[in-house]
Structure 1
């Protein structure tokens, strides 16, 4: 039986995806429990999540031993292990995928973050990952770097569904939507069925507040301290305004008439970092139709326990959201400087997690091969 709060969120048009995946989650059926009881209809992964999964417990021991016996190195093994997990999760979500006409029941897997500045290699790996998982409901995650924009368009043009990740700025989000439209136009020209192609645009939320609030604390004035904890929601609300405006254009209407699905905004990094803020802030204040909220389990449990879901809390808040950003600018906080820094740091964190994953897996393979 579904939880009343997560059901209310779903009824308001928000798809709940879990920001976590591991072999243990699959074998213990804890993921099934979240599907049945907490309205979870998809899963996202990233290098940090996979590093944590492979570092804990013995769930992967037998497969690591098999891969070591087969002579695989860490690079080969990591793609085999992660794609197997994603494929199994895709199978689990297949009924939801079918029932939602492909919008949900999705499982995301990310290209090697070390390729984020290399367009050609990102495109090539996106296609390889798509073939490795070999499931229609997989989403290939591509970071929204400048170099990633062409990769996003080319991957969509090949008929592959994409989760565009690591978006912080409104300007970059507009460029992502343009890449999405360009990719669908090419996919149509290439003869692909547009009804089968889906995409989400992952707008990161809590990291914006973490960075901006640190700057406000450093300023230390009464006005600066009063502005804390507002930027993440405001930035996401303005992204939703961009979404609403972008998918009413004549360019979009031509694609929609051919069966295309709009690229939905996805709220990522929705675990609240500041204990002074409500732990469901990025759920209750970012409730809007046709969105996805990908939550760490802690946020999902908090939502189920005590979130007050009151329907759409985003539409029509754009004037207030702009006022928040104007206040920050007046206080001397540079929006462009913040979002540029966050993109660089986000890539660094994912690359570090990927390198640690490879190092740990190489050690495990060596140990298993003795």
Structure 2
């Protein structure tokens, strides 16, 4: 059952788990996945932490200690989440070393309430980097307009970044520019560029979910023929943009100074529509030099019946452009969709964070002497 996962890794795709909890850490489950299922990284987000922590006994002892100390709920959530991420970094340290510090990474996101504020995002990134204190950490910063200068600033200080919530090709190019700008700042500051890593998380399934709903309202044969095409087309054209930027003279100058490319990461790879094969966003996005972060259900599906047939991206660019043009021909605005998805993504993470804060405040109140 791991042949497909080995084949995927051999094609140059780093397999990361899109989940983390103390139960995974304490039971040894994460270590088992690293050993048995090719997992070489972990991503987290506010929704994952909300699910992991709320109402779980695994955290009671730590919450009781925090309650006794009288800490605020914001401090408590940071102490809890950074503890899990630090432990996960330690589990993945052998992968970090074996991969020459490319993989073996664990991501933690800045407070989602700061998504539209540059300076507080930078301050939060610095605090998390210091607090977790592991070189195989990624700080996740959303690719909002306010996030772009924050990315450049923290990269320029030598902090490795996972840029998240990327939906549009235009924004993705801005993200890559922010990364290169940050590397140029780091170089000017005398920082060893080889110590800085980054990934850019391009979301896939959410694009299909939104566009398919619009196609269903249109209901024509042309609309039906485009269902399930937009997410892959968008991601494939993102890879084309990646090749262009990381083949430029600007990049080559940084690479000669020791810089690492910012790898595309396929996020939101769990299939939402049961009409589609459950391994769609893995099988059809195989291409070297990328990361695919999967929920465990998708990981198991790929292991069991994935169809890893080599490079599924090169040779698709013209068709991908035609598919996005077809949407425009039906009156579906690409720009409107991707902006809506970015706004909703920030709102959903903030809602999950607020739910977690409310739940944790209740536990602190209950356990406080």
TM-score range, shorter chain: over 0.9
> For residues 106 and 261 of structure 1, what CA distance do their matches in structure 2 show?
15
Residues 285-338 of structure 1: CA deviation (Å, up to 9, x unaligned): 000000000000010010000001011100121011101101111111110000
Matched, 1:170 2:169: yes
Deviation at residue 361 of structure 1 after TM alignment: 0.5
Aligned to 1:293: 292
Aligned residue for 2:14, secondary structure, equals: strand
Aligned residue for 2:146, secondary structure, equals: helix
Deviation at residue 56 of structure 1 after TM alignment: 4.2
Aligned residue for 2:293, secondary structure, equals: strand
Residues 227-255 of structure 1: CA deviation (Å, up to 9, x unaligned): 10010000000000000111011110110
Deviation at residue 201 of structure 1 after TM alignment: 0.2
Aligned to 1:363: 362
Matched, 1:282 2:271: no
> For residues 56 and 170 of structure 2, what CA distance do their matches in structure 1 show?
42
Aligned to 1:153: 152
Aligned to 1:140: 139
Deviation at residue 95 of structure 1 after TM alignment: 0.7
Q: TM (normalized to structure 1)? A: 0.99
Aligned residue for 2:58, secondary structure, equals: coil
Aligned to 1:336: 335
Aligned to 2:95: 96
Aligned residue for 1:259, secondary structure, equals: coil
Cα RMSD, aligned residues only: 0.7
Aligned residue for 2:148, secondary structure, equals: helix
> For residues 70 and 100 of structure 2, what CA distance do their matches in structure 1 show?
41
Aligned residue for 1:45, secondary structure, equals: coil
Q: Which runs of 5+ in 2 are unaligned?
A: none
How many pairs are equivalent? 369
Matched, 1:38 2:52: no
> For residues 91 and 358 of structure 1, what CA distance do their matches in structure 2 show?
26
Moved over 6 A (4+): none
Q: Which runs of 5+ in 1 are unaligned?
A: none
> For residues 122 and 257 of structure 1, what CA distance do their matches in structure 2 show?
30
> For residues 332 and 8 of structure 1, what CA distance do their matches in structure 2 show?
40
Q: TM (normalized to structure 2)? A: 0.99
Aligned to 2:194: 195
Aligned to 2:225: 226
Residues 176-232 of structure 1: CA deviation (Å, up to 9, x unaligned): 000000000001111111111000000000000000000000001111011100100
Deviation at residue 70 of structure 1 after TM alignment: 1.1
> For residues 234 and 37 of structure 2, what CA distance do their matches in structure 1 show?
27
> For residues 342 and 95 of structure 2, what CA distance do their matches in structure 1 show?
32
Aligned to 1:87: 86
Deviation at residue 57 of structure 1 after TM alignment: 2.5
